[in-house]
Amino acid sequence: MTLYRIKELPLLDVVTLIQQKVVTFRFTKDNLTIEQLNEINRRIIDKIMTDGYAMGASTQLKDKIVLRMCTINPRTTEDDIRQTIEKIATFGQELSTS
């Protein structure tokens, strides 16, 4: 479910496929530098944590800051995942235009 939902949103780009219920992905937008996108992805995690809806984590893969989503908690629902991914896309869009 997570992977398919991420692929549905044009502003999110899957970086690695799900392994052990973890997927990495990042907000992306044309005509922004890798440095700008890295900063936006770092700030998305801050906004997710401040928002309190979900816990966020990031990591660096090669030269890209990516977001990590782990869905191993048995109480996590498809709706939780959908709403978290939508919040991430919305936060990225807000940060990319500010």
CATH number reported for the structural domain that contains residue 33 in this entry: 3.90.1150.170
Total tally of structural domains belonging to the chain: 1
Q: Give residue-wise pLDDT tens across range 15-46.
A: 766 556 788 899 999 999 999 999 999 999 99
Q: Give the CA dihedral 86, 7, 97, 39, nearest 10 degrees.
A: 100
Q: Give residue-wise pLDDT tens across range 41-95.
A: 999 999 999 998 888 899 999 999 999 988 888 888 889 989 999 999 999 999 9
- Whether the CB-CB separation of 97 and 29 falls below 8 Å is answered with no
Task: Determine, yes or no, domain membership for 96.
Answer: no
Find the helix packing angle between 34-51 and 78-97, rounded to 10°. 130
Task: Determine, yes or no, domain membership for 6.
Answer: yes
Q: What is the H or E stretch that residue 83 is in?
A: helix 78-97
β-strand pairing of 57-61 with 12-19:
unpaired
Q: What is the DSSP letter of 24?
A: E
Q: Which domain holds residue 24?
A: 2-89
Task: Determine, yes or no, domain membership for 98.
Answer: no
